[in-house]
């Protein structure tokens, strides 16, 4: 582990304190995505905890001059008791049934809680898959922006009832990072039942909180675990660290903190773990394409096509394709492989898989003459393509 670059902060259980670096970008942030996990919204018995919802809302409504998007998990957890389920089911249909019952209850809880301050909430349910499509991405942005304009607090969750295993986020951490990018947030705050990222399993003695992560090299050797104590969360720290990497890579700072310290986390105080931005801010939905979509198949490119898309920013034309695999329809995400089968890029394809064999190696001009003008199009347009290698 790169011990030198990790700044230890307060190890609350051991009572030692080291001053953390100031987080100016956190205190200056105006548009903020706050994500809260199931484990921070439930009672010990597993039901939705109204007091914890109120405690969160009490802080969020006091963020004067700031726009907040709340990404809230908890639909499945909230649906367990009404369905007589003792614990979170492991199969997708019962998880979806629980989410279907619980999402309404979750929103009703937020609606009542924000109403104490005369504030309204709006439900936004997103799937990972459709948000990588251009029209849907634009629409999601427009809806969220309009909710801000109207002073409504958007409460986002994954659309659990329609998401299949293949396209599911499952956890809301990466969804929150992509929403932060979608709304061009200045900050992402991930709230959990643990007060930050630890250098090992926090349940074990001798592990301590990491106050700041400056880049991926700081995480070498850190034991990032999955299971949560409460048994209602899903991704553990793995998905939180992945979410932090997505957001910081897009220029958005991240604070990972305990839900009970949300006020401090939002103020820029040295609580939790602060992940410093590593990349530049970027616009567009291509981040979604890289991180949210599940490719439905692939096409293999010859060396010239690989160079054209990686070095010249070109679209992928039929002439550069040597093979196709998988079942996909036009508009779906596919992977673009080099001749050795390694992924080069991901893109939204303009043809069905079954149409591609007869296009392979042909010029768009010839195809148009032979098959009609509809065939004079790229297989993947450059605007729908994201490179997976630098």
Ligand X SMILES: Nc1ncnc2c1ncn2[C@@H]1O[C@H](COP(=O)(O)OP(=O)(O)O)[C@@H](O)[C@H]1O
Residues near ligand X (CB under 6 A): 37-40, 192-194, 197-198, 201-202, 223-225, 228-229, 233-237
Task: For residue 33, state whether it binds ligand VHF (rule: CB under 6 A).
Answer: no
| Least Å from the CB of residue 39 to ligand VHF | 6
- The span of 34-42, 132-140, 245-253, 327-335 binding ligand VHF (CB under 6 A) equals 34-42
- How far is 390 from 30, CA to CA, in rounded Å? 31
Cβ 117 to ligand X shortest distance, Å: 25
Interface segment toward ligand VHF; rule CB under 6 A; list 61-69, 107-115, 127-135, 153-161: 153-161
The nearer residue to ligand X, 210 or 290, going by C-beta atoms, is 210
For residue 105, the minimal CB distance to ligand X (Å) is: 17
CA dist 83 and 74 (Å) reads 15
Please say whether the beta carbons of 334 and 296 come within 8 A. yes
Q: Are 231 and 225 in contact (CB under 8 A)?
A: no
172 interacts with ligand VHF by CB under 6 A = yes
**Alpha helix ranges (H) inside 116-218:** 134-149, 173-182
Nearer to ligand VHF by Cβ, of 230 and 319: the residue is: 230
Is 158 an interacting residue with respect to ligand VHF (CB under 6 A)?
yes
CB of 212 to ligand X, least distance (A): 14
For ligand VHF, the closer of residues 80 and 222 by Cβ is 80
Select the residue interacting with ligand VHF from 74, 253, 270, 333 (CB under 6 A).
Answer: 74
| Residue closer to ligand VHF (CB basis): 68 or 359 | 68
Strand stretches in 195-331, DSSP E: 212-213, 254-258, 273-275, 297-301, 321-326
| 99 lies in the binding site for ligand VHF (CB under 6 A) | yes
46 binds ligand VHF (CB under 6 A): no
Residues with Cβ within 8 Å of residue 19, at least 6 apart in sequence: 270
Which residues, in sequence order, are bridge partners of residue 135?
Answer: none
Apex 166 CA angle, 48 and 130, nearest 5: 80
Question: CA 200, 205, 208 angle in degrees (round to 5)?
Answer: 50
Using CA atoms, how far apart are residues 188 and 143, in angstroms rounded to an integer? 19
Residue with Cβ nearer ligand X (69 or 353): 69
């Amino acid at each position: 582990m790169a011990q030198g670059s990790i700044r230890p902060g307060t190890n609350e259980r051991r009572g030692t304190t080291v001053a953390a670096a100031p987080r100016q970008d956190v205190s200056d942030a105006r548009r903020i995505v706050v994500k809260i996990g199931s484990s921070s919204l439930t009672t010990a018995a597993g039901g939705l905890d109204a007091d914890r919802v109120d405690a969160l809302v009490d802080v969020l409504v006091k963020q004067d001059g700031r726009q907040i998007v709340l990404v809230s998990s908890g639909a499945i957890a909230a649906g367990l008791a009404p369905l007589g389920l003792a614990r979170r089911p492991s199969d997708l249909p019962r998880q979806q049934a629980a989410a279907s019952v619980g999402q309404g209850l979750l929103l009703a809880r937020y609606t009542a809680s924000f109403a104490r301050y005369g504030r309204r909430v709006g439900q936004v349910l997103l799937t990972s898959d459709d948000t990588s499509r251009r029209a849907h991405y634009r629409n999601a942005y427009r809806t969220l922006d309009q909710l801000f304009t109207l002073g409504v607090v958007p409460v986002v969750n994954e659309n659990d009832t329609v998401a299949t295993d293949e396209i599911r986020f499952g956890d809301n951490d990466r969804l929150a990072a992509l929403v932060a990018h979608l709304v061009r947030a200045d900050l992402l705050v991930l709230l959990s039942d643990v007060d930050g990222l630890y250098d090992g399993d926090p349940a074990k003695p001798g592990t301590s909180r990491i106050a700041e992560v400056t880049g991926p090299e700081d995480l070498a050797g850190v034991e990032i675990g999955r299971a949560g104590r409460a048994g209602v969360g899903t991704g553990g720290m793995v998905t939180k660290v992945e979410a932090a990497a997505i957001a910081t890579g897009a220029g958005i700072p991240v604070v990972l903190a305990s839900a009970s310290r949300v006020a401090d986390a939002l103020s820029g105080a040295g609580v939790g773990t602060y992940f410093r931005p590593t990349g530049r801010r970027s616009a567009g939905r291509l981040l979604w394409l890289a991180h949210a979509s599940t490719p439905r198949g692939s096409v293999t490119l010859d060396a010239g096509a690989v160079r054209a898309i990686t070095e010249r920013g070109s679209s992928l034309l039929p002439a550069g394709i040597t093979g196709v695999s998988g079942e996909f329809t036009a508009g779906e995400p596919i992977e673009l492989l080099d001749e050795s089968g390694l992924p080069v890029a991901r893109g939204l394809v303009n043809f069905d898989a079954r149409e591609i064999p007869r296009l392979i190696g042909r010029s768009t001009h010839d195809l148009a003459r032979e098959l009609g003008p509809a065939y004079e199009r790229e297989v993947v347009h450059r605007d729908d393509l994201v490179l997976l290698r630098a």
